[in-house]
Structures are given as structure tokens and as C-alpha cells.
């Protein structure tokens, strides 16, 4: 089984300018024992609204936190952030590797 969660209205702050960064997150994982509860995930993601963090670091931090809490077979967090200064950023962090036949 693979679980996919999408957050299309994600916001954080640019650590340099303090301006808001807008983007979308996709979280995919193969649960071992635990599933993330959607309201808990929403509250966890809200902490980034007031946090200055680079997009790449943000995606890695979310992957690390969820991997530690859920202990999934594997997890992937993708972030697609809106363009600022003419450049959009997409970052992906993976923890574990999907195996063939696991529905990945």
C-alpha cells in the first residue's frame, strides 16, 4: 500500500528576505505500522508559516520528521515552490527505497 497526501497551499518564509514562499507539497509513503492523521499533519505543517527556511532544507526536514515518527518502509516528500525572481524550485527528499512489488 502507498499513501499519498497533498498540500496545495503550503507557505513558509524566505530566510533571507522574510517574504512568504508559496508552494505545494506531496508526501508519499509505504506505511509499516502507522498512518499519519491528516489534522495532525496540517498542524505540523502550519509551523512553517512563521519559519524562515530554504525550500530544500524544508523538504528534507519534513521527510526526516515524518520518517522518525511513522517508521515507514520508505517515504518521499516533494515540494514545488512558486517562482520568485524568475526561478521556481522543486525539491525531493527520500528516506528508504521503494522495493519492486510494494506498490511504489
**Is-catalytic flag, 65?**
no
Considering the candidates 7, 8, 14, 65, report the single residue annotated as catalytic: 14
Considering the candidates 21, 64, 65, 71, report the single residue annotated as catalytic: 21
**Is-catalytic flag, 21?**
yes
3-state SS record for the chain: CCEEEEEEEEEEECCCCCCEEEEEEEEEEECCCCCCCHHHHHHHHHHHHHCECCHHHHHHHHHHHHHHHHCCCEEEEEEEEEEECCEEEEEEEEECCCCCCCCC
Which residues are annotated as catalytic? 14, 21
Amino acid at each position: 500500500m502507498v499513501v499519498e497526501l497533498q498540500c496545495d497551499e503550503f507557505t513558509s518564509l524566505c530566510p533571507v528576505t522574510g517574504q512568504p514562499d508559496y508552494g505545494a507539497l506531496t508526501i508519499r509513503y509505504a506505511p509499516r505500522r502507522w498512518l499519519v492523521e491528516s489534522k495532525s499533519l496540517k498542524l505540523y505543517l502550519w509551523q512553517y508559516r512563521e519559519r524562515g527556511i530554504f525550500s530544500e532544507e524544508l523538504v528534507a526536514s519534513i521527510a526526516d520528521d515524518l520518517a522518525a515518527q511513522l517508521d515507514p518502509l520508505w517515504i518521499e516528500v516533494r515540494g514545488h515552490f512558486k517562482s520568485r525572481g524568475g526561478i521556481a524550485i522543486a525539491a525531493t527528499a527520500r528516506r528508504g527505497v521503494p522495493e519492486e512489488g510494494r506498490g511504489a
